Structure formats: C-alpha cells, structure tokens
Amino acid sequence: MQASLTVTTNFSAAHRLARPDLDYDTNRTVYGKCARPNGHGHDYLLEVTVVGKVDDQTGMAVELGALHELLRVAVIEPFDHHFLNKDIEYFATTVPTAENIAIYIRNILQAQLPSLGVTLQRIKLHESPNNACEVFATAAIKPERAESARESLAIA
C-alpha cells in the first residue's frame, strides 16, 4: 500500500525581489516594497509531502529521522539566515519569489528523495501567514519569469 506523508520545517531568510535588467522605479512598480534595495526577510514554513510504499515490517513509508536530516542538509542549512540573492548562486540571476524558491526546493528534493525510497509529491512554502505557494512534483525545470498582470505594464 502507498501512503503520503507530510513533514514541516522552517527557516528564516532574506531576499529582494528585483530584476537586474530593470531600473529601481520599474522594479518598484512590478514588485512593490519588496524591491527595496536592502531586501527584507521572512520566517518561512515549508511543508514537504512524499509518497512511498508502506513497509510491512516497520509500518512506515520513510524513516522520519532520515527525511528530516535530508531536509536539514539540502534545504535548511543552505537557506536559513541567508540573503538568498547573494548566498545562493541560482538566485543571483533568478528573482527569489515564493514561487521560484518553491520550484528550486522542489528540484533539489525531487532529485534526492529517491535515495530514501520515496518520491516527492508536493512542496508548500508559506512565506507569511497570508500567502503560500504550492508546487507539485514534475520533471525538474528551471523557473521562468512568470507573465503577470503587473508585467503587462510594457516592461522591456
């Protein structure tokens, strides 16, 4: 029998939402106060859902200690108390929106979780009590700049 298991963890990180090819005023129009030059921080809550076969002997789909250790090494240590734009090379050229952060984490975990005998089902990243981003396991992809209503402001 297959079972899904969701674990939660958290980390604190800072970021700045701004495209390097845009000037400050345009970034401010697109990203609002999140484009301020010195960035801002969040206390993120990360939910990770995995799916796997329930072992007949242990009654578990995955050993929780191993899963939490993988999350600590692959996500928490690299992200916690870091400025994402500067400390994670990927976000030097990709805007670290909640969506792009969730996709980045998904791609990392999707590659590593099979070593524990489970596969990734979903990631839900809570940026604040008011908003969260949910992404599902798929083929690993590079996050692309989303087309949004704000980008229809004729940004070159």
Residue of 34, 63, 68, 99 marked active site: 34
Query: Under a CB-based contact definition with an 8 Å cutoff, are residues 11 and 44 in contact?
Result: yes
Active site residue 77: no
Task: Report DSSP letters for 5-50, one per residue.
Answer: EEEEEEEEEEE----TTS-HHHHHHHHGGGG-TT-EEEEEEEEEEE
Residue of 15, 42, 126, 127 marked active site: 127
Residue of 40, 77, 81, 151 marked active site: 81
Active site residue 127: yes
d(C-alpha 82, C-alpha 58), whole Å: 37
What angle do the packed helices 64-71 and 98-112 form, to 10 degrees?
A: 130
Which of the residues are catalytic?
34, 81, 127
